[in-house]
Amino acid sequence: MSDPSVGTATAASGSINFTERRVIHTDNAPKAIGPYSQAIRTGNFIFCAGQVPLDPATMKLVDGDITVQTRRALTNLSNVLQAGGSSLSRVLKTTVFLADLNDFQAMNAVYAEFFGEQPPARSTIQAARLPAGALVEIEAIAIAN
């Protein structure tokens, strides 16, 4: 019996092989603090784990408010995408987790700096608690270059 979780899809540009699964890792983003990968590339897609505002050199939460933490989380995300052969400009969808939805406007202002005129689709959710006491966590799905 074949595995329905892998296969080949046909797109206008040809065939996309989803059986290839490559782990993405970079030292320019926080190492995984559990049994997960920073990202997985399959076909032309990169699925990024949520990035919290940890300094990759120290693995400590950056000091600062939601704007500082959002900037660090997005920088971490950008570094993971670069390691996988993509960039923020190729992101299709993000999910933003906030410890406090009252931080939405401040987070949104920094987010706009990173995504510009054609931002990806996005969901924003208030979470009861985020890893390492972070105020924000951001995950993404992107197209590889």
Q: What is the mean pLDDT of residues 41-45?
A: 96
pLDDT for res 1 = 41
| Number of domains the chain is built from | 1
Query: Between 5 and 73, whose confidence is greater?
Result: 73
pLDDT band at 3 (very low <50, low <70, confident <90, very high): very low
Q: Is a pLDDT exceeding 70 seen at residue 11? A: no
Mean pLDDT over each residue of the chain, to the nearest integer: 91
Question: pTM of the full predicted structure?
Answer: 0.88
Q: Is residue 15 part of a domain?
A: no
Separation of alpha carbons 82 and 135, rounded Å: 24
Q: What is the pLDDT of residues 45-82, one digit of tens each?
A: 999 999 999 999 999 999 999 999 999 999 999 999 99
Q: Is residue 10 part of a domain?
A: no
What's CA 37's distance to the chain center, in Å? 11
Q: Is residue 77 part of a domain?
A: yes
Question: Which has more confidence, 22 or 15?
Answer: 22
pLDDT at 118 over 90: yes
Which CATH number covers residue 77?
3.30.1330.40
What whole-number distance in Å separates Cα of residue 41 and Cα of residue 29? Answer: 16
Residue 28, amino acid:
N
Q: Would residue 92 count as lying in a domain?
A: yes
Beta strands at 22-24 and 39-42: parallel, antiparallel or unpaired: antiparallel
Whole-number pLDDT of residue 15: 59
Residue 98 is assigned to a structural domain of this protein: yes
Three-state secondary structure call for residue 18: coil
Q: Give the residue numbers spanning the domain of 64.
A: 21-143
Residue 12 lies in a domain: no
Residue 14 lies in a domain: no
Amino acid type, 66: I
Confidence category of residue 16, pLDDT binned at 50, 70, 90: low
Asked if residue 1 belongs to a domain, the reply is: no
